[in-house]
Amino acid sequence: MQVSWDSLHQEIAACQKCGLCREIHHKVPGQGNPHARLMLIGEGPGADEDLQGLAFVGAAGQLLTKMLAAVRLTRDEVFICNVVKCRPPKNRTPLPEEAAACLPYLRAQFSLVRPKVILLLGSTAAKAVLGDHIRITKDRGTWVEKKGVWFMPTYHPAALLRDESKKRDAWHDFQAVQAKLKELEQ
């Protein structure tokens, strides 16, 4: 049975599968083009996202918007979400059981959007989607194809704010995403 956006958002809003929902302001299901060719998946909401109920609106989100613009994409053209839909306390990394609790929502989003390319922002997203064997410093920038969908892990924008030396690699990854989208159009 195919889920709808409305039923998915209702299910996320009512979710109490893990403890993350206890001390939040808003759940952050994600937003953007519901039929995007490119889906971006991050780790989880931060403080700004929790307050606004929108994904990637804080400093890392502002950088992400600029990175998308640099490869001629807008936030309205892509779908942006996170592995977990509730902010972990003190922005800690989501626990494996918390990520597992939200994985059905992420899968439902994928099945609704049906993207051709998925950019995995950071280690948590890469491991949740591709497996625990992924190491972001080793595997970033590498394409993985599964059932006609292309996945690439890259650095999370928050990591680029902490360590500017990673920006060049992330820029190359975004250029590769742009090239892959063009290639798939043909």
CATH of the domain at 179: 3.40.470.10
Count of domains for the chain: 1
Q: Which residues of 5-27 are buried (b: 16+ CB within 10 A; e: fewer)?
A: eeebeeebeebeebebbeebebb
Q: Is residue 3 part of a domain?
A: no
Full domain range(s) for residue 122:
39-185
Q: Give the predicted TM-score (pTM) of the model.
A: 0.96
Q: Please tell me whether residue 67 adopts helix, strand or coil conformation.
A: helix
Query: What is the C-alpha separation between 135 and 97, in angstroms, rounded?
Result: 20
Q: Which residues of 66-75 are buried (b: 16+ CB within 10 A; e: fewer)?
A: ebbeebebeb
Q: Which residues of the chain have pLDDT under 50?
A: none
Query: What is the C-alpha separation between 13 and 16, in angstroms, rounded?
Result: 9
Q: Is residue 89 part of a domain?
A: yes
Instruction: Note the pLDDT tens digit of each residue in 10-64.
Output: 999 999 999 999 999 999 999 999 999 999 999 999 999 999 999 999 999 999 9
